[in-house]
Amino acid sequence: MATPKSRILDLLRLRSQIFNTNFNPLHERLGNKILRQRLKGPALAEYYPPRVHPSVELRKAFPNWKVGDEHEDQRLANIENRKRRGKGTPKKRTAAESKKLTKRRR
Amino acid sequence: MPVQFRAKKLDIGSFINKWVIRDHTKRKVYKEYEPERQALRYIIRNTSLPMRTRAQAQLELSQMHCYTRSTQINNRCLLGGRGKGVFRAFRLARFQFRMNALKGNLPGVRKASW
């Protein structure tokens, strides 16, 4: 004796309830395929390595430690060197001085 | 107007040129808009929804900025920025891969010889 169709459908409905799946006996296209897909964006966005600043981050993590910064030291040394050769930046003028100079030019 | 998406500050540490920055921007934009795109795609594929809704979703999806599309993303070489001949596993273009492999910078890679 064949099982009636309604009974099989009941079984299917119960099965989908238990396993938390979609009950779709007519096989309609409901687009659930897309809801099941995982998001690829986070993985794709991590392709290039992030920019890191070791000395800055170390100093932030350990404020009590003395962490050297080669770039900064080199920059200060270069400025010192130029000053010694008389090629440093000129001193900032006061407001009165600059006014005088601009007037003379006219 | 891709400028609207570009980061104000450089945030990647690999080889930099304009194509690398552009590709990185596209990746970030895609990540941001991916849920929206998937929602629209769901509406379009769902045949139980009214045809009008689905057509509207289709229109909206097609009118999104091209940077929100995954097909715009292209893997580029981390050491040279090349867009072609890039090994996915090493993220390096073929010549950079060869040089680094011969130098021994890539663990587990050996020159074949038999």
Query: Do the Cβ atoms of B5 and B29 come closer than 8 Å?
Result: yes
ipTM of the complex: 0.86
Domain with CATH 1.10.287.1480 in chain B: 16-74
**B19-49: b or e for each residue (b if 16 or more CB lie within 10 Å)?**
ebbbbbbbbbbbbebbeebbebbbbbbbeee
pLDDT at B24 over 90: yes
With contact defined as beta carbons under 8 Å apart, do B59 and B52 qualify?
no
CA distance A15 to A26: 16
Which chain B residue shows the shortest CA-CA distance from A33? B42
Query: What are the residue ranges spanned by the domains of chain A?
Result: 5-37, 54-105
pTM, 2 dp: 0.76
Query: What class is the B16-74 domain?
Result: mainly alpha
Mutate to test the interface with A, among B18, B24, B38 (most CBs of A within 10 A): B38
Distance CA B2, CA A61 (A): 36
Question: What tens digit of pLDDT does each residue of A51-85 get?
Answer: 988 878 888 888 888 877 788 889 999 999 999 99
**CB nearest A49 (choices: B13, B35, B47):** B13
Cβ–Cβ pairs < 8 A, chains A and B: 67
DSSP letter string over A65-89? S----HHHHHHHHHHHHHHHTT-SP
Nearest by CB to A42, which of B31, B42, B46?
B31
Is the pLDDT at A99 greater than 70? The verdict is: yes
Asked if the model's pLDDT at residue B99 lies above 70, the reply is: yes
- The vertex-A89 CA angle with A85 and A90, nearest 5°, equals 105
B98 pLDDT band, cuts 50/70/90, is very high
